[in-house]
């Protein structure tokens, strides 16, 4: 749920990047961070294990527009990739205003994608977030791999509600900004509907 700071005239929205370990969640945030103008850059916090996997979250605040006199700020998080960190995943997902599910396009990761989608759905429910209401975008990452899963197969297995989907190669930046713009616009539309009367 977006936070309204009346004193600073800010609305703070939370977008969570979800998906299997090493699917490209952190790579998305790192690329976004690298493209930010210096005047908008704050510190990106990354907590990782010795194996260079995100253990808790990446957090990157972005300022991307206004509703009336209120600045809209987005906080981008990633969940840890391993399902056995489920309590942390659930905590990071708490209060989310939108979700990007980053799927790994490798055939060898197909079942991991399904397991993580099921895990996301379960944790959304535990946080009283509805699949039919929260904005969700699917990013099919690693579209440059040799053992490539066809988009049709990924979509059939993962796209449970007719969500928007984007092909990406996050390590090269392909599809990363497009994904961010799409989820940001969806969250902004949702926030406008909920909060426009509160912030006049």
pLDDT at 56: 45
Q: Per-residue pLDDT tens for 21-32?
A: 999 998 999 899
Measured distance CA(140)–CA(95) in Å, rounded: 24
- Cα–Cα distance for residue pair 44/122, rounded to 1 Å: 28
Q: Which range among 68-72, 106-110, 159-163, 196-200 shows the weakest confidence by mean pLDDT?
A: 196-200
Pick one of 3.40.50.300, 1.10.3720.10, 3.40.50.10860, 3.30.700.30 as the CATH number of 3-192. Answer: 3.40.50.300
pLDDT tens-digit readout, 35-94: 887 776 677 777 665 544 554 445 667 777 777 788 888 888 988 877 667 888 898 899
Burial of 107 by CB count in 10 Å (0-12 exposed, 13-18 middle, 19+ buried)? middle
Inform me whether the pLDDT recorded for 129 exceeds 90: yes
Q: Across 31-69, where does the E strand assignment appear? A: 45-48, 54-67
Structure tokens that stand for 109 in this block? 């990761």
- Read off the pTM: 0.91
- CA pair distance 102, 118, nearest whole angstrom: 13
Answer whether 89's CB lies under 8 Å from 127's CB: no
Q: Is 145 exposed, middle or buried (0-12, 13-18, 19+ CB in 10 A)?
A: middle
């Amino acid at each position: 749920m977006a936070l309204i700071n009346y004193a600073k005239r800010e609305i703070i929205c939370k977008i969570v990047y979800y998906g299997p370990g090493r699917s490209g969640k952190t790579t998305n945030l790192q690329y976004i961070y690298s493209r930010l103008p210096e005047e908008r850059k704050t510190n990106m916090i990354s907590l990782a294990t010795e194996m260079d996997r995100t253990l808790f979250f990446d957090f990157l605040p972005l300022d991307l527009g206004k509703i009336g006199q209120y600045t809209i700020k987005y906080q981008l998080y990633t969940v840890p990739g391993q399902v056995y960190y489920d309590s942390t995943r659930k905590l990071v997902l708490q209060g989310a205003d939108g979700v990007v599910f980053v799927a790994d396009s490798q055939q060898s990761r197909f079942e991991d994608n399904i397991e993580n989608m099921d895990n996301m759905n379960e944790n959304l429910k535990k946080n009283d977030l509805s699949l039919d209401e929260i904005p969700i975008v699917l990013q099919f990452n690693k579209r440059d791999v040799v053992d490539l899963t066809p988009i049709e197969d990924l979509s059939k297995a993962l796209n449970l509600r007719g969500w928007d989907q984007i092909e990406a190669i996050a390590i090269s930046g392909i599809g990363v900004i497009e994904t961010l713009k799409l989820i940001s616009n969806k969250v902004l539309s949702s926030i406008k509907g909920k909060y426009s009367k509160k912030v006049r």
